[in-house]
Amino acid sequence: MSTTNTERLNRFYEQFAGSDNVLIVINADPDAIASAMAAKRLLWRRVAGVTIAHINTISRPDNMAMVSLLSVPLIHISKVDIRHYKKFIIIDSQPNHNESFPAIGYTAVIDHHPDTNISAPYLDIRPEYGATASMMTEYLRAARIKPSAKLATGLFYAIKTDTADFERKAVNEDMRAFQFLFKHANIHLARKIEQVDLRLDFLEDFKKAINGHILKKNKIFVNLGSIKNTDICVLIADFFMRFDRVSWSIVSGIHDNKLIIVVRNNGSTKNAGSLMSDKFGKFGSAGGHRSMARAEASIEMLKPHIDVHNEARLLKWLMKKFEKPSSQTLKSKKTGNG
């Protein structure tokens, strides 16, 4: 039997008491930020206090603009005293998605990514949804809470971003949430956040990507070498998907002793998330959606396989990972030969 939004809301509320200090932990991006804002609003006056902590560095211009323009109070997890909190929520992620999530017992997990078989007193994982923000909008509506203009704008922008204006995976519930939020959001503010997506110090990385990219059939490969933040891989991967003849964009860079690989495709070919998990999962964290995926591979674990600092060899190695297996290779696998 299907669970109603009111039933979900009541079970969520049952996890918290008035004396609880609650910590919401996120890997900050528009969907996570907006969803955390909604969760904080749901718990307003129901608990002693709510803090939103992020595990990553917020450096993408649109994310920075979102936090600033919507006045979102965030704190980095490194500055949080876990002992001060009694209940913990993780939103738009799951505990094993990133090693930076603190190893604590989470009270509630709310997410739209594929289920990783985690356990918590309260779980709401709906991978069919295009955005966690859509789920959180349903919670607000079940609680009969009219979102403020800033909260509605954040949720509106999050759905818009995670569904790529409904060009990526979405369900009717995403559309209904979007339509509801449209009535309460500041559309001009959302557009301002959306348009702030580049910084001048990104120009060198873009220059290297444009001059050094390799186009093989319908796939573009780029290695940026050492990068100051991982968001530049996302921006460049999205950038190359705007060109004709390109159906796959694979961008890598080295950050914090990890090889970061960001993948985008047009959604009509092989599942990017499954491919990344299959090819790079043994080296670290890897996965994602059909048209967008990411891997963070330990350089130490990669050493027996590839010298990531040799750009030419690394690109060849990556290209081989994304090659379609030949018919002879497939035949050998089926027959057990080779």
* Mean pLDDT within 13-38: 97
User: Can you give the pLDDT at residue 333?
Assistant: 43
Listed in order, the ranges of the chain carrying CATH 3.10.310.30 are 202-323
pLDDT tops 50 at residue 169: yes
The pLDDT score that the predictor gives to residue 125 is 96
**Gyration radius of the chain over CA positions:** 21
| Residues 18, 48 contacting (CB under 8 angstroms) | yes
- Is the model's pLDDT at 329 over the cut of 70? no
Tokens 């709906």 belong to 126
**CB half-sphere exposure, 319, CA atoms < 13 A:** 17
β partners of residue 108: 89, 122
Chain mean pLDDT for the chain: 91
Are 276 and 289 contacting, i.e. CB atoms less than 8 angstroms apart?
A: no
pTM of the model: 0.67
How many residues are listed for the chain in this entry? Answer: 338
How is residue 168 annotated by DSSP?
S
Percent of the chain predicted with pLDDT > 90? 76
Query: Does pLDDT of 331 surpass 80?
Result: no
Strand, coil or helix: 64 = helix
Domain with CATH 3.90.1640.10 in the chain: 5-195
> What is the pLDDT, as a whole number, of residue 338?
36
Quick: pLDDT tens for 198-220.
Answer: 777 889 999 999 999 999 989 99
**Which of 205, 138, 147, 219 is closest to 173 using CA atoms?**
138
CA distance 137 to 30: 14
CATH number, domain 5-195, options 3.40.640.10, 3.40.30.10, 3.40.50.300, 3.90.1640.10: 3.90.1640.10
Q: Give residue-wise pLDDT tens across range 246-300.
A: 999 999 999 999 999 999 998 777 889 899 999 999 999 998 888 889 999 999 9
CB-CB neighbours of 207 under 10 Å:
10
pLDDT tens readout for residues 43-72: 999 999 999 999 998 888 889 999 999 999
202-323 CATH choice from 3.10.310.30, 3.40.50.620, 3.40.50.10780, 3.30.420.40: 3.10.310.30
Residues 72-94 have pLDDT tens digits of 999 999 999 999 999 999 999 99
- pLDDT tens-digit profile of 128-143? 999 999 999 999 999 9
pLDDT at 1: 53
C-alpha distances in angstroms, 231 versus 78, 86, 100?
Answer: 20, 32, 17
Tokens for 83? Answer: 């002992």
**pLDDT tens per residue, range 91-115:** 999 998 988 899 899 999 999 999 9
